[in-house]
Structure 1
């Protein structure tokens, strides 16, 4: 993995101006383009898959606002671990809440779109861009030898928050009355929580996600805040806000002193 300054847009990056240019399976999403990005006409670029998972701008802005209220002020860095084409990272940067915003994306074309889109919103230089797998990155940060990472990739775990908007995949999130988060593909709830548990983290999940599975992650005697986010009265997703596990904090301290 590496920090990148400015990736070139590729043939997989698109800015469609007319519906006749849009593949049939994306046309309903393209018709919502100005809700997804209010600056779409200024030259927003997307990959094909990004249309399915991008956070609509009003939701991204509200999440950024809510994080500023929910997360304690001593947390100064936020890592957007599934940055996609940049919607959430842009909102975090625009909020002015964070000293450092880090966007991690493993697909180069998608990250190129994110950097380009952030430049349209005037915040490209306010975000650190990492091309790589976020689980490998978090594993390196959580290891006893995080010094193996380049200096620009290192953070203080105690002052860092993780935001994860993963691909939802699987057969049923659109149709299941209650979505089983253990079947979410390619990364299920347990996989993400285990990787992120050493830091406060917020997970952007299908609106019908099984609340019992989320509640199971709460440390004994504590609660998890879950918020439904809507656009024009229709729920788009829920976000679960989880605090770092106290045992994980002790583990991190041991690792840092090793």
Structure 2
């Protein structure tokens, strides 16, 4: 008696087919796990950082590979496009000191084009996150991570460029019509600049877009003779994100306004 037309005869899989099947199962399981991780992450996004989470690929283009941030890191990290532009000014430099490294956005970009980066932050958790994120970008071996207070460490640090992106006081900085240097944390901008100046005259500062421009230019006069300074307004997707001040050899054109 012949089998029914709709009956199915299961044929044994070859070794190659079994391997392919197992690989597909693993890939599907990995994708499900990643999807669940993303859903869990989105549920844990606080109202304070939701806006920044929506801009996560502007902050880190490799975000989906496993980049991690704490709450403060979300609104403190320099957008990657701006960080890369700032790093271009240091291309080929021996040592760049990132005085307030946070979760590593700037340190990663400096490490791509410079010989060595010293990433300093007073928060051990942020230093761990910065190291983790540097591994994602494959530059962890080019960065020395230090847990400590920049003001205490500065007399012992040597570098060719100092990058300063101190805390702006959280998202509330936007409410200020004119952001002055005394609002920076943990010390005012003039004190911070002078400490960095004792290391090198080549300084880059990343500050709020509503910065008092007169105060910004006055920083160059803290040196004798006055340092060259270039003022650059930084944009991402047409939105102003901050002001970068370039001093010393990092200033290319004097006091000008340029766009990103």
TM-score (norm: length of structure 1):
0.74
In the alignment, structure 1 residue 59 sits paired with structure 2 residue 61? no
Asked if structure 1 preserves the Cα contact closer than 8 Å seen for 2:76 and 2:170, the reply is no
Q: Residue 82 of structure 2 aligns to a residue in which SS? A: helix
Q: Which runs of 4+ in 1 moved over 4 A?
A: none
Asked if structure 2 preserves the Cα contact closer than 8 Å seen for 1:104 and 1:132, the reply is yes
In the alignment, structure 1 residue 237 sits paired with structure 2 residue 242? yes
Q: 2:206, 2:115 → 1: CA distance?
A: 22
* Structure 2, unaligned runs of 5 or more: 1-36, 250-260
Q: Residue 118 of structure 2 aligns to a residue in which SS? A: strand
Residues 37-78 of structure 1, C-alpha deviation per residue, up to 9 Å, x if partnerless?
11111111111111110011111111111343xxxx6x5211
1:3 is matched with none
1:106 is matched with 122
Determine which structure has greater relative contact order: mean sequence separation of CA pairs < 8 Å that are 6+ residues apart, divided by chain length: 1
1:102-251 equivalences under 5 Å are 102-141=118-157, 155=158, 157=159, 160-169=160-169, 173-198=173-198, 199=200, 200-219=202-221, 223-243=228-248
* Structure 1, unaligned runs of 5 or more: 1-15, 142-154, 245-258
Asked if structure 1 preserves the Cα contact closer than 8 Å seen for 2:90 and 2:110, the reply is no
1:25 is matched with 48
**Alignment RMSD (CA, Å):** 2.0
**Considering only CA atoms, is the larger Rg found in Structure 1 or Structure 2?**
2
Q: 1:186, 1:221 → 2: CA distance?
A: 25
Q: 1:31 to 1:119 in 2, by over 3 A?
A: same
Q: 1:122, 1:171 → 2: CA distance?
A: 30
In the alignment, structure 1 residue 85 sits paired with structure 2 residue 85? no
TM-score (norm: length of structure 2):
0.74
Asked if structure 2 preserves the Cα contact closer than 8 Å seen for 1:77 and 1:100, the reply is yes
